[in-house]
Structures are given as structure tokens and as C-alpha cells.
């Protein structure tokens, strides 16, 4: 999935759209820090 995302960024960039940066948030590896810190205490 990350390879496809990066390929899409390069495709957009190569088409002439200025691209300064790229942030990729995965859909499966997110942490709910509010809940995680309450459970740890």
C-alpha cells in the first residue's frame, strides 16, 4: 500500500503539480492514546 501511495505522489508531482511533502496515515495502525493511557494507569 505504501508503495502505491508513493507512486501516486510521484505521478502527481511528475504531472507538474508542486509537491512539498507527503504524510501517510495508515488505516490500521492508529493508536487511541486517550484510551491507551487510561488503561495503562
> What are the strands, taking DSSP E only, across the chain?
none
Q: For residue 25, what are the CA distances in angstroms to 11, 15, 22? A: 19, 24, 10
pLDDT value at position 40?
Answer: 55
Distance of alpha carbon 28 from alpha carbon 3, whole angstroms: 16
Distance of alpha carbon 21 from alpha carbon 8, whole angstroms: 13
pLDDT value at position 5?
Answer: 85
1-41 pLDDT per residue, tens: 678 888 999 999 999 999 998 887 766 666 777 776 776 55
pLDDT value at position 21?
Answer: 85
pLDDT value at position 10?
Answer: 93
Amino acid at each position: 500500500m505504501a508503495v502505491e501511495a508513493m507512486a501516486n505522489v510521484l505521478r502527481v508531482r511528475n504531472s507538474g503539480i508542486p509537491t512539498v511533502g507527503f504524510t501517510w496515515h495508515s488505516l490500521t495502525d492508529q493508536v487511541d492514546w486517550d484510551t491507551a493511557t487510561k488503561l495503562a494507569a
